[in-house]
Amino acid sequence: MSTSPVKVAVTGAAGQIGYSLLFRLANGDLLGKDTPIELRLLEIEPALKTLEGVVMEIDDCAFPGLAGVVTGSDPRKVFDGVNLALLVGARPRGPGMERGDLLEANGAIFTAQGKALNEVAADDVRIGVTGNPANTNALIALSNAPDIPHERFSALTRLDHNRAISQLAAKTGAAVTDIKQMTIWGNHSATQYPDIFNATVGGTNAAEAVGDQEWLESTFIPTVAKRGAAIIDARGSSSAASAASATIDAARDWLTGSAEGDWVSMAVVSDGSYGVPEGIVSSFPVTTSGGDWTIVEGLDVNDFSRGRIDASVAELTEERDAVKGLGLI
């Protein structure tokens, strides 16, 4: 049994996602019940009282694997020595708002947090960005953390990946566990491209198993890509428990490895693979092992897929140019 606790930071800890995420982390859902976890919870000053209440509830669960909880509003203190930082805190998108509207407001948050991580995080730190606009927030954070390798940052497209698996399972009548090699390309936004041409259902190519291009274009892609907006419309606030669950799925697979014969979707800094401009944070199919990720190379990208990937990547390059114009990167 490991004894020294893994220090896991969560920002926006008093928010909606935090209210699901913290209990899952404390329960051992990330690294197993035998690996003790210390939670390091960052919030803005006005939310610290709410966070105090959440911590009381965490205490009341008497989680056996929880080695301690530290709270605060100073990222330099909260991030001190952290091995994993889950950057969730940001302003969520409300009804009628576009993600682009959030770039400037969130830029300041991720600039400061990138700098603080650079100064005080553990040498082995991994940083997962859930707060939107996630890809570009990750780009801002990594650009402000010159001493942390860019490969240590990723943005969350695992929720989209999970949504795509769920929709494909419902369409084909397969179990979610029968669906492998799903890919989300591009941005965590409505332009994202969930690719079933390289996925399989029970070992059969998924696009062939579905055999319905009309469903693919008019139902599957828009349902997955606009799921966040549909949940906001229905719930009045953005997805929370599913986002927390995907945040854990992504971090767990990053740290402990993706399943043999399968891959996962992560938004990571591009090395130019698949024609995605180097340096932007874009979602790719990746395999993971021991805290490292590797882009799955050599997949077939047909003309339909090419057009969809290019459209999402164009949005990401616009976001990059916008934050560059604002002096954030």
Ligand X SMILES: NC(=O)c1ccc[n+]([C@@H]2O[C@H](COP(=O)([O-])OP(=O)(O)OC[C@H]3O[C@@H](n4cnc5c(N)ncnc54)[C@H](O)[C@@H]3O)[C@@H](O)[C@H]2O)c1
- Kindly list the residues in this chain that would bind ligand LMR in the complex (CB under 6 A): 93, 132, 159, 228-229, 231, 238-239, 243
Residue 12 binds ligand X, judged by CB under 6 A: yes
The answer to the question of whether 83 is labelled as a binding residue is no
Comparing every residue's Cβ against ligand LMR, the nearest one is 228
CB atoms within 10 A of CB 47: 18
Residue 131 binds ligand X, judged by CB under 6 A: yes
Strand residue runs (E) in 130-254: 153-155, 179-180, 183-185, 193-195, 200-201, 204-205
Q: How far is the CB of 254 from ligand X (least distance, A)?
A: 15
Q: Closer CB to ligand X, residue 179 or residue 250? A: 250
From the list ligand LMR, ligand X, none, partner contacted by residue 139 (C-beta under 5 to 8 A by kind): none
Comparing every residue's Cβ against ligand X, the nearest one is 15
Vertex 130: Cα angle to 129 and 134 (nearest 5) = 75
- By CB under 6 A, the residues from 249 to 278 that bind ligand X are none
**d(Cα 29, Cα 127) in Å, to the nearest integer?**
18
Q: Closer CB to ligand LMR, residue 224 or residue 309? A: 224
Contact segment (CB under 6 A) with ligand X among 7-15, 26-34, 191-199, 215-223 equals 7-15
- Residue type at position 38: E
Q: Closer CB to ligand X, residue 17 or residue 125? A: 17
The reply to whether 188 belongs to the active site is yes
- Backbone region of residue 168 per phi and psi (left: phi > 0; alpha: psi in -120 to 50; beta: other values): alpha
**Does residue 133 have a cis bond before it (omega within 30 degrees)?**
yes
Residue 114 binds ligand X, judged by CB under 6 A: no
**Contact indicator for 141, 110 with CB cutoff of 8 Å:** yes
From the list ligand X, ligand LMR, none, partner contacted by residue 47 (C-beta under 5 to 8 A by kind): ligand X
The answer to the question of whether 192 is labelled as a binding residue is no
From the list ligand LMR, ligand X, none, partner contacted by residue 107 (C-beta under 5 to 8 A by kind): none
Which residue in the set 6, 90, 216, 232 belongs to the binding site for ligand X (CB under 6 A)?
A: 90
First-to-last alpha carbon distance for the chain, in angstroms, is: 42
Exactly one of 150, 161, 171, 188 is catalytic; which is it? 188
Concatenating the DSSP letter of every residue in 24-77 gives: HHHTTTTT-TTS-EEEEEE--GGGHHHHHHHHHHHHHHT-TTEEEEEEES-HHH
Number of H helices, E strands in the chain: 12, 14
DSSP 152: G
Q: How far is the CB of 193 from ligand X (least distance, A)?
A: 15
- Residue window 274-313: x/- pattern of binding to ligand X, with contact defined by CB under 6 A: ----------------------------------------
Vertex 285: Cα angle to 79 and 142 (nearest 5) = 30
The answer to the question of whether 131 is labelled as a binding residue is yes
The answer to the question of whether 227 is labelled as a binding residue is no
**d(Cα 194, Cα 181) in Å, to the nearest integer?**
11
**d(Cα 299, Cα 287) in Å, to the nearest integer?**
13
The answer to the question of whether 105 is labelled as a binding residue is no
**Contact indicator for 37, 66 with CB cutoff of 8 Å:** yes
The answer to the question of whether 14 is labelled as a binding residue is yes
Contact segment (CB under 6 A) with ligand X among 131-139, 164-172, 258-266, 271-279 equals 131-139
Concatenating the DSSP letter of every residue in 166-187 gives: HHHHHHHT--GGGEE--EEEB-
Q: How far is the CB of 163 from ligand LMR (least distance, A)?
A: 8
Q: Provide the annotated active-site residues.
A: 188
Please enumerate, by residue number, every residue annotated as part of a binding site for substrate.
93, 99, 132, 163
Residues in contact with ligand X by CB under 6 A are: 11-12, 14-18, 42-44, 47, 88-90, 92-93, 109, 130-132, 134, 156, 159, 188, 238-240, 243
